[in-house]
Amino acid sequence: MSEYTRTLLPIRWPDGPPKRTYDVVIIGGGGHGLSTAYHLATRHGISNVAVIEADYIASGNTGRNTTIIRANYGIPESIRFYQHSLERYQELEEETGAAILHQARGIVWLAHTEMAMRTERARCAMNEATGAQTFMRTPAELKALIPQLDLTGGGRYPVLGGSHHVQGATARHDRVAWAYASIASQRGVDIFQHTVVTAIRRDGDGGRVLGVDTTAGRIDAGAVLIAAGGRITQVAAMAGLRLPIRTHPLHAFVTNDYAQGFPVILASTELACYVSQTDRGQMLIGAEFDSQPSFSRQSSYSALRSYSYKITRLLPFLRDMRILRTWAGICDISVDYSPIMSATGIDGVYVTTGWGTWGFKAIPAGGEGMAELIATGRPPALIAPFSLDRFRRDHLLADAGSAGTR
């Protein structure tokens, strides 16, 4: 028995249908829902919690992302939040006892034009000022770091330099979700899989939330957290909530095993693509989301062709690799490319959404913040800027350039 399987704590699945009443009902058993349940149970002593998942846990974007953990954002609010999350990830194996295969390998963001160089220099200055470690690298330094890199960019995208976010890391996404689910369930949280929420009940017209109707029966709840991914617009509409969110598919694929080893996570913001090596040795490649919204999780040939074209300009060795497996996830993109972690104006209803293509890295800090918001009624300072009413106040957190996609 390896450390990998030994540290896998069992989840205590409920042995019957949901109870009649819970203090908190969390809609969505993905990373953010499970992390919120974990923090409610371990930090705030609220364990009378139900997590309602329509499919199996982490079956949505938590299990479909490219597992990159980084904090090299462009605005102070985001850098502080993601840096805290990055540091929580570094301690997560110790905290939960589960081997999540956390590997700090650093992220390099390439720049191919003077304009992009300026953006990366600004990013480095802002990161250092706010507590994230990001440094500029010359082409020679990049070549020493990544021997496979073609500095001419296939003759089309010359590498003028790049920013190196040294604390950037990866971790196994399904194990992160499992670690939070197992500990939350041991503390008394009930996790229901293959249970669909069909309605969110409110007191009269526009009153506080009473609970939810599910395919496993009616549940009364003091608070409801909407943490669904992908179908967030439809779930929020059940509570009468309208969101500034569009849902776009994002594709990714892995190649066969690359035995030589690839040292870092490599990304280019201009090409909007990123590549890393998984712990199985496969090269994992993702890029920008589809321009048109869709709820289809079908991989498209045009996306694979465009991603392959771009990434082989930078890493010519990938031309000799084969695509083994492709998949897609549907991402909730908010208008300003920043997440929404907030109360909603409806008494007892909370929402965590807008996780677009950047949700995985925020799972520890997002759950921690939402749990405190639900337990105390006040958002902690780290998540307060990400409230839903920022659109009304015209205080947007516009940071599309740090999404690594577009």
Partner 1 sequence: MHHLDCPRCGRRPLEEFTFGGERRAVPDAITDPDERDFDEVWIFQNPDGETNERWFHTFGCRRWLTVRRDTGIDVVLEVH
Which residues does 209 contact at the CB level (< 8 Å), separation at least 6? 200, 201, 202, 203, 221, 223, 224, 239, 346, 347, 348, 349
First to last CA, the chain: 43
Residues 215/232, Cβ–Cβ less than 8 Å: no
Least spacing, CB of residue 353 vs partner 1, in Å: 11
> Given the complex with partner 1, which of 87 and 290 has the nearer CB atom?
290
Least spacing, CB of residue 294 vs partner 1, in Å: 4
Least spacing, CB of residue 388 vs partner 1, in Å: 10
Residues 381/365, Cβ–Cβ less than 8 Å: no
Name the token pair of 320: 């000799």
> Given the complex with partner 1, which of 4 and 295 has the nearer CB atom?
295
Phi, psi of 191 (to 5 degrees): -115, 115
> Given the complex with partner 1, which of 146 and 333 has the nearer CB atom?
333
> Given the complex with partner 1, which of 242 and 280 has the nearer CB atom?
242
> Given the complex with partner 1, which of 143 and 231 has the nearer CB atom?
231
CA contacts within 13 A on the Cβ side of 299: 18
What's the CA gap between 145 and 154, in Å, rounded?
19
Tokens 């694929």, residue?
A: 253
Beta pairing partners, 136: 163
Name the token pair of 405: 């996609």
Least spacing, CB of residue 6 vs partner 1, in Å: 42
Residues 70/168, Cβ–Cβ less than 8 Å: yes
**Nearest CA among 331, 322, 162, 315 for reference residue 245:** 331
Residues 180/53, Cβ–Cβ less than 8 Å: no
Least spacing, CB of residue 60 vs partner 1, in Å: 14
Least spacing, CB of residue 312 vs partner 1, in Å: 18
> Given the complex with partner 1, which of 280 and 392 has the nearer CB atom?
392
> Given the complex with partner 1, which of 179 and 273 has the nearer CB atom?
273
Q: Which residues bind partner 1 (CB under 8 A)?
A: 231, 233-234, 242-247, 249, 291-296, 298, 300-302, 335, 391-392
Tokens 């920008």, residue?
A: 288
Least spacing, CB of residue 245 vs partner 1, in Å: 6
